[in-house]
Amino acid sequence: MSPQDSHRLFTNLRPLPFYQSDIEVRGKTYKSPRLQCWMANPEMKSKAELYTREDPVPWSNDMLAIKNELEEMFEFGFDYVLMNLYRDGKDYISLHSDREAISNGKNVIASLSLGASRRFILKNNKDPTKKHEFLLVSGSLLVMAGTTQQHWKHTVPKQLKVNDPRLNLTFRKS
C-alpha cells in the first residue's frame, strides 16, 4: 500500500470506537495493553468467539475494498477484521498464537500495518532460540498461513522510543 493510501486509511479509521478490553490470564483479569475495535457484518456478533464485548462496526467502503482484494489475492474468505491500536511504544501484544487460526480451514490471517513502524517477532514453539524479526512499516502486509500458528508464536513487543500510534488490521475468519 502506498504511503499516501496508508496515511489516508489510518486517518479514516482513527475515529472509530476503540476500547480497552479485559484479558483473563490464569484466573486474573487485566486491562489489554492496547485498544481494539472490530469490523464485520452485524450478524457476526454471535459468531466471533473472542471479540464479543462490543458490537462490530459495519464495513466501510475502504475496508470492504481491501477485504475483497485480500480474498482474491489469497483465495480465502475473511469474516471480520480485528483492529489493534497501539497508542505508542508502551502498548504491545504478548507472545501468543491466534486460536481461531489454528482450526482447519481458518488458517489465514492477513495483517496490514498503518502508522508507526513496529517490531514483529516470530518464535518457534519447540525451539524459542529460532526466531524471525521484521520491522513492519506503514502499508506493509504480513500473512500468517498454513501451519504458522501451530508452530510459531508472535509478538509486538514494547518499544519505548516509539511515540506515534500504530494501527494493525488483522483480517480473519471466525
What's the chain's average pLDDT?
Answer: 89
What would the pLDDT profile of 112-134 be if each residue is shown by its tens digit? Answer: 999 999 999 999 999 989 999 99
Taking 90 as the threshold, does the pLDDT of residue 48 lie above it? no
CA distance 116 to 127: 30
Domain count, the chain: 1
CA distance 1 to 4: 8
Q: Which residue has the higher pLDDT, 160 or 24?
A: 160
Residue count of the chain, please give it: 174
- Burial (CB < 10 A; 0-12, 13-18, 19+), residue 71, is middle
Say what the pTM is. Answer: 0.90
> Which structural domain range is residue 54 located in?
3-172
Q: What is the CATH number of the domain that holds 116?
A: 2.60.120.590
- pLDDT above 90 covers a percentage of the chain that reads 64
What letters, b where the CB count within 10 A reaches 16 and e where it falls short, cover 5-29?
ebeebbeebeebebeeeeeeeeeee
CA distance 42 to 34: 24
